[in-house]
Structure 1
Amino acid sequence: MEARAKIPPGLPRPNPTVSYWQDPPSAIADLRSTQDLPRSADHVIIGSGISGAFVAYNILQRTSQARVVLLEARQACSGATGRNGGHTKAASYRSFVDHEKHHGLDEAVKIARMEFANIRATHAFAARYNIDCDSNPCDTVDIIYDRGHLESGRTAIEHMQQTMGSDDPAAGYKVYSAKEATAMFLTPGALGAFQYPAGSINSYKFTIGVLRLCLQRELNLQTNTPALSIAPSASHDQPSWTIQTARGEIATPNLILATNGYTPHLLAQTQGLIVPLRGQITAQRPGSKLPPAGLPTTYSFIYENGYEYMIPRPPGTAHAGDIVIGGGLGRLPNDGASEFGETDDAAVHPALSGYLTNCTAGYFGENWGQDDADGRVRREWSGIMGSSADGLPYVGPVPGEPGLWMSASFNGHGMVLCLKCAEALVGRMLGGETERRELEGWFPQTLWMSEERMERKFVGRLNQKAPGEAEFGEREKEGRSGWNREC
């Protein structure tokens, strides 16, 4: 893992796999708001995923006259946001105890509540601006196949409800027995299940919708303009940064990196601190015995050393009932270590292709039925996440680099963190002392960039668990279903 962490990420690859969500591409996919790259701007944001889009939105909401330029190496929203499963699911119970141990109870509560608030805010934003993005607030269920995870989950949920209050929506979990889980969720072999509020969304269309709002406020979007390097401009009295691109230079007093797993390409001190991780997803036609109206909840399937996440397409959407499923890293040798440091999203891992194709029928067993006449897999693609050394994103000013900010490395958990992290970053960047004190009340202080955090060493996303979940569950060797052992 130390060797994988040293691999320079480089620039995003040309001609990446096309995700289920990017076909057809948006009309603004290749937009350049101006023919020439501006020479300067008040704010330059690098990265047009959900983080970059919401940083731009928050800046423009506050200062409508600000000159904001957003640089994107490829098409708009062509990175992790346009390639994820669209799962607005926190699973805070899986990290709560670990966060409490390392950061204290107050911080653990803040993280859980912010994740829940992020989910609510995402779907509320889509509704407020009428963004056509298949927004679907719904419940989710974790199907458990490992006794250690089952017991640790029950304990964590009880602890959350005791410390936060049973009426706190961020602690609103239901626990089901093996018999109940099998009957309710059609998953033979389950040892139990946890159900709680979550949702699904077409995160590509959602982010494109946010970018369109920003364009109405005079955002200058420059796609297919990779940032080759960044450097401080020492000749100015005020902090200033110069961004070098193949189309020329642009200078700014405020540079924001929303570059997730690619951040070390521009900021050398994050090499080994932020490590790319390639993930893989398939979109599948459902089996004949699954409910004709589609499954009503989203799913995760959690086993000894990993998990898959699954999002059924809701009624009224294109290909309603389709199943979008990703994960499987825990099924690769060395728990998927080969995918860390990997930035080739123009390819897919053949072993994961076979596993993800077959696992759906395995999880649902006789409840799957026959495959569609056109075949099970409709589309398959990969994408690059960013893994951090401590399992939490890096948000705020970069220590020792005046005028440089970042919101990056979301550990595959961005759909329940990015919106609120962008809000906090802009609040700290543009807000006064009163707003900064208010931020302390709701934003977890452990997410801010700090010299201490930058000194930590990347050791891998242990067991492919949720962010911050280094010690969740035990490696129970007994009691898992035979199908899971064979897969």
Structure 2
Amino acid sequence: MGRPCFIASLRGSSMTVSIWQADDTQPLREVDFLVVGAGLVGCAVAYFAAQAGRQVTITEMRDVALGASSRNAGFMITGLDTYYHRAIERYGHETTRELWQLSAQTHAFWRRIAAGTDVRMTQCGSLLLAESAEEARDLELAARAMQADGLEVEFHSTDPLRRGYFAAIEQPWDGAVQPYELVQQLYKASGAELVANNELYAIRQERPDVVTVYTRQYRFEARHVMLCTNAYSVHIDPYFIGRVIPTRAQCLVTAPLKDPSILNTCGYSDYGFMYYRTTFDGRLLIGGGRKQNKPLEHDTTDDRVTDPVQRVLDAYLRAKFPDVEEPVERRWAGIMGFTPDGLPLVGTLPGKPNVGFAVGFNGHGLALGAGVAERAVDMLLNRADPGVLRASRLD
């Protein structure tokens, strides 16, 4: 077998491996089902593959749940990153209903994984809030469309929080979770072996039943490989360039509040560009600020915070929560993977039929991750059609 062809994107990759770190003579390991990425979706894929009778190994460039899976706000909000009636216009009625059902199934799965464990999770509901009169009209139309499809949401024509919003949709079945704890528990439930701190730099499939994956510690020979690398997929294979766009999201959190009851739900407004909740230890978390800084936050895998976005978050804290006196104690960023049409991608790499992928969650991994992971495993093992998630729709 010849030397591997280096396949990573040249656009500022953080996953390159030097010849000093690995010279292609690393120990060879034969594995059955290899998952690349130990985040929320990677651990869900590991779980479903194990349920299908596979022996699962996960390789991860860092460690379990250290990427975007634990750098988000921990929202379990049902649906996509667009309002329901807009989704119908864009994807069609049947597809929209299917995706909302997939989201509900995903949340039910997270709840089963968390049940009887120490994972902190609550069914606090959510409020989709309008920042303008125009958004209020959109929310009313969305609520009507959801109610017509049997979704028991409540439309508020005024601001239920009394903080200057224009209207709201209340989804009482939604919830909040401590996302790091959830992924750790999911990994434990999967029973998979983990190889951590192990960067991937090449993938080859030269035989029908074997995929060779070159990583810093090992050369894996696997029957099946599933890429669960989301935003970092552009550093794995050129196929993903233009199909998955790395996009930075930023948050801040205050010190514990004297009165943590000021917000007892998950808030989501400005068409999803702003979001906020209280944490399980009583802090106020605010995320967003990307709308005002899209060029800065677009097409990057640098997970450092930036002053322009953090200034937006600080201003939002002062404007919407003037009663919060506690200082900001932590700021962070995570990298999401967006797709051109707003839907996740499930498929196999061109020329590598045993290399599947489940990527491009558009900031909604907690909303769709388990359902997408289950379909991806079924596709790779049984050649099942992933339906609306089929990546070939972008070809």
TM-score, length of structure 1 as denominator length: 0.72
State yes or no: 1:200 paired with 2:176: yes
- Which of the residues 348, 359, 368 maps onto 2:305? 348
Partner of 2:187: 211
Partner of 2:214: 244
State yes or no: 1:327 paired with 2:288: yes
When residues 381 and 12 of structure 1 are mapped into structure 2, their CA distance, relative to the original with a 3 A threshold, is farther
When residues 86 and 322 of structure 1 are mapped into structure 2, their CA distance, relative to the original with a 3 A threshold, is same
List gaps (5 residues or longer) in structure 1.
1-5, 15-35, 166-170, 315-319, 456-487
- Partner SS, residue 378 of structure 1: strand
How far is 1:245 from its partner?
1.3
- For residue 156 of structure 2, what is the amino acid of its counterpart? Y
- Which of the residues 228, 239, 244 maps onto 1:269? 239
How far is 1:339 from its partner?
1.2
| CA–CA separation in structure 1 for the residues paired with 2:81 and 2:202 | 40
Partner of 1:173: 153
List gaps (5 residues or longer) in structure 2.
1-8, 18-25
| CA–CA separation in structure 2 for the residues paired with 1:85 and 1:228 | 31
Cα contact 1:9–1:262 (8 A) shared by 2: no
| CA–CA separation in structure 1 for the residues paired with 2:32 and 2:84 | 39
When residues 351 and 12 of structure 1 are mapped into structure 2, their CA distance, relative to the original with a 3 A threshold, is farther
Cα contact 1:51–1:418 (8 A) shared by 2: yes
How far is 1:70 from its partner?
0.6
When residues 62 and 94 of structure 1 are mapped into structure 2, their CA distance, relative to the original with a 3 A threshold, is same
| CA–CA separation in structure 1 for the residues paired with 2:299 and 2:287 | 19
- Which of the residues 369, 391, 394 maps onto 1:449? 391
Partner of 2:230: 260
| 1:375-414 aligned within 5 A | 376-398=327-349, 400-414=351-365
Identity of aligned residues (%): 24
- Partner SS, residue 291 of structure 2: helix
When residues 95 and 37 of structure 1 are mapped into structure 2, their CA distance, relative to the original with a 3 A threshold, is farther
When residues 297 and 446 of structure 1 are mapped into structure 2, their CA distance, relative to the original with a 3 A threshold, is same
Partner of 1:77: 65
Cα contact 1:399–1:449 (8 A) shared by 2: no
- Which of the residues 42, 60, 69 maps onto 2:50? 60
- Partner SS, residue 321 of structure 2: helix
Partner of 1:464: none
How far is 1:173 from its partner?
1.5
Cα contact 2:257–2:283 (8 A) shared by 1: no
Cα contact 2:252–2:330 (8 A) shared by 1: yes
| CA–CA separation in structure 2 for the residues paired with 1:7 and 1:430 | 31
TM-score, length of structure 2 as denominator length: 0.88
- Partner SS, residue 31 of structure 2: coil
| CA–CA separation in structure 2 for the residues paired with 1:12 and 1:385 | 16
How far is 1:404 from its partner?
1.2
| CA–CA separation in structure 1 for the residues paired with 2:262 and 2:377 | 40
When residues 361 and 186 of structure 1 are mapped into structure 2, their CA distance, relative to the original with a 3 A threshold, is farther
| 1:3-402 aligned within 5 A | 8=11, 10-11=13-14, 39-63=29-53, 66-92=54-80, 94-127=82-115, 130-162=116-148, 164-165=149-150, 171-178=151-158, 181=159, 184-187=160-163, 189-196=164-171, 197-214=173-190, 217=191, 219-232=192-205, 234=206, 236=207, 238-285=208-255, 288=258, 291-293=259-261, 295-302=263-270, 307-314=273-280, 320-332=281-293, 336-345=294-303, 347-365=304-322, 368-369=323-324, 371-372=325-326, 376-398=327-349, 400-402=351-353
| CA–CA separation in structure 1 for the residues paired with 2:364 and 2:124 | 18
| CA–CA separation in structure 2 for the residues paired with 1:95 and 1:417 | 15
Bigger fraction of residues in strand: 2
How far is 1:353 from its partner?
1.8
| CA–CA separation in structure 1 for the residues paired with 2:227 and 2:127 | 34
How far is 1:12 from its partner?
5.4
Cα contact 2:211–2:354 (8 A) shared by 1: yes
Partner of 1:471: none
